[in-house]
Structure 1
C-alpha cells in the first residue's frame, strides 16, 4: 500500500511540474516583447488612406498568441476601445491575444471631422488596412464586433473572410429594419406609457439636445437594456468611453439615441447574406439586450458554421452585466475553433 501511495504521489508531482512548465512556457510566449527597438506597451499607430487624405488610427496589442489574435471593433459608432478594458481580466489568463483599436474618428485615433468619411464601406477598407499593418491572416485573425462593431464585422467578413480565422458578432442584429421594429414593437411597449409619450414628443420635435430626453432614456431604457446597473454605478471604462463619444459620427450613422435607429444605417440589412459566411462564427445575444435575442439565435443558424451564446442575465453590454456567461462562452469558442 505504501509503495502504491508513493508511486501515486510521484506521478501526481510529475504531472504538477509538467503543468507548471507548460504554463511557464505559454506565459513567456504570451508576454514576450515585440521586435521593436523601443518597447511602447504594444501600441502601433497605423496610417489609413482615405479619399480625403491619410489619417492615423491607434491600436494596442495585449499579449502574444501566434494562433489567436482577436481584433476588437467597438460600438457607437463613435465610442472608443476603452469600454473593452474588462477583457483584460479574462483573456490574458487564457493566453488569448487581443488588440484594442480606435476606428477613425474615435478615441486616440485622428478625427478628421469629415462627415463624408462616416461610411460603412470606407470603414471596411480601414479594417483591411489595419489587418495588413498588423500582419494578421487566416492562421490567427479573429474579429469581435460589438454593436455597431458587429455591423462592421459582418460587412468586413462578407468581403474579406478569406483573410480570417473566425468571427464573433456580439449584441448586433443582421438587419437594422428588424432592430428598429424590435425597439418599437417590443421594447417600447415595456415602458411606462407616459414616459414613452414624452419621449415620442421630444423625438417628433427633433429636440434631441433637450436634457429631458436623456433624463427619460437613461433610467427607462439605458439602465434596462444597455447596461443593467444604475448609471451611477456604471464601470469607469464605460463612462470614460461614452464621455468621448464622437457625436457627429454617432448621429450620422445611428441617429440621436440607442432607442431605435434613424441614421445612415437605418436600412442596412445583411440577413439574407449570412449564408455566405463560412468561417467559424459565434453570435452573442442577451435576454435584456436592445437587440432581439431570437434574431441573434437565428443568425447563428444562417451562417454555415455558427454557434450561439445566450447571456440570460445580460443586456447590450453583457460583458459587464453577465460576465461569467459571456467570457466562458467566448473563451470556449476561441479555444475550440483554434
Structure 2
C-alpha cells in the first residue's frame, strides 16, 4: 500500500439526531460486494490514520470511513459531560450510519483499537446484514489493558516511567515534560515508524485540538486510562459473534497478547494474525502484508456475500 491519496467517490455528513456524522466512501457502494466500514480508535480520534485502507477499494471492496461524533468533521460538542459520551451513543451512531447509507443489510466491519471493541459489541447482537468482522489491535477489556500497561511502562528506558508516575500523581499531564515521556511509550508500542506518517499525525493532532471525548472516556494518554471506560469490557458478549472474524495485532503492540487473547478464545469462528514488525498500526507499519491479509480475508467472505 504505497503512500498515495485515495479520492473518495462521495463524502459529506449525515444527520444523527441533532448532530452530524462526517463520512467518506471510496469505491462504488452499488458494485455488488459488501462495503468495509472502518471504525476508528480513540475514543476521540478520527478516520485519518486509517485512510490507507481505502486501497481495498481497488481490490473491489468499497470502503466507508467516518469520524465518530465529537471529532474530525463530525459535530464537536465540547460542553457535553461524561453522561453524554457513552458506548451506547457510539453504537447508535454506527447503526445510524449504516442505515442512512443504505448498507445495513450487507456490510463488513473493521474496528481498530477502541473501534475494535465497539465493532465487537455491535457484532455480538448478530445484526442480519453483518458478513464479517475485523478486530485490529484491540483489547477485549480495559482492566486487562491497564494491567498490561503497567508491565509495558515498567519496561521503558530508565527513569521514563518514574517521570510519568510523578506527573500523573500531580495531575500535570498536559505539559511538555509529560508529552516527551509519553512519546517514549508511543514510539515503542503505538507507531515504530520514524518519522510518524502524515495520516497518523493528522489524527494525533485532531485529538490534541479537541480532546473532549478522549480525555472523558480514556484519559490523558494510551496508558493512563482514568476515564469512563476504565472498567469496560466486551468479554461477556464475544461468544455471541456469529460471523467469521479476523483478529490482528502487532508483535510490539500496546494491545499485548494477553489483552487480545479473549477474542481468540471466545469468538467461535476466528483467525488471529500477528504482524512481527509492527506495534499498534500494522496497516501503516507493514502496509503490503496488511493489504495481502485483508484481501485474503475479504476474499474468503466472497462466497457468502457476493
| Aligned with residue 157 of structure 2, among 192, 197, 203 | 192
Superposition RMSD on alpha carbons, in Å?
Answer: 1.8
CA distance in 2, matches of 1:71, 1:135: 12
Q: Structure 1: how far apart are the matches of 2:42 and 2:233?
A: 18
1:238 aligns with 2:205: no
**Alpha carbons of structure 1 residues 57 and 160: separation in structure 2 relative to 1, 3 Å:** farther
Instruction: Find the aligned partners of 2:51 and 2:234 in 1 and give their Cα distance.
Output: 29
Q: 2:247 aligns with which of 267, 283, 286?
A: 283
Considering only CA atoms, is the larger Rg found in Structure 1 or Structure 2?
Answer: 1
Per-residue CA deviations over 1:163-208 (Å, capped at 9, x if unaligned) read 31111111111111001101112x1232124111111100111111
Q: Which residue of 2 aligns with 1:174?
A: 140
Q: Which runs of 5+ in 1 are unaligned?
A: 1-39
* TM-score, normalising length: structure 2: 0.90
Q: Which residue of 1 aligns with 2:125?
A: 159
Pairing of 1:15-26 with structure 2 (within 5 A): none
Q: Which residue of the partner structure matches residue 121 of structure 1?
A: 88
- The equivalent of 1:141 in structure 2 is 107
Matched residues in 1 for 2:196 and 2:255: separation? 20
> Aligned pair 1:205/2:167, yes or no?
no
**Aligned residue for 1:112?**
77
Counterpart CA distance in 2 for 1:297 and 1:308 is 9
Structure 2 counterpart SS, 1:161: coil
Of structures 1 and 2, the one with the larger relative CO (CA 8 A, separation 6+) is 2
Aligned with 2:48: secondary structure?
helix
Other-structure match for 1:131: 98
- Match of 2:66, SS state, is strand
74, 83, 87: which is aligned to 2:53?
Answer: 87
Do the aligned partners of residues 155 and 337 (structure 1) sit closer, same or farther apart at CA in structure 2, a change above 3 Å counting? Answer: same
SS in 1 for 2:242: coil
| Contact in 2 for aligned 1:309/1:326 (Cα 8 Å) | no
The 8 Å contact of residues 142 and 167 in structure 1, kept in 2 or not, is answered as: yes
Q: Could you say which residue in structure 1 is the equivalent of 2:13?
A: 45
* 1:14 corresponds to: none
Deviation beyond 6 Å, 4+ runs, structure 1: none
Residues matched between the structures, number: 290
Output the CA distance in 2 between the equivalents of 1:241 and 1:321.
16
SS in 2 for 1:99: strand
Identify if the C-alpha distance between structure 1 residues 68 and 235 changes in structure 2 by more than 3 Å, giving closer, same or farther. same
Q: CA deviation at 1:137?
A: 3.2
Alignment-derived partner of residue 58 in structure 1: 22
- How far apart, in 2, do the equivalents of 1:328 and 1:43 lie? 27
Q: Secondary structure at the match of 2:42?
A: coil
1:26: which partner in 2? none
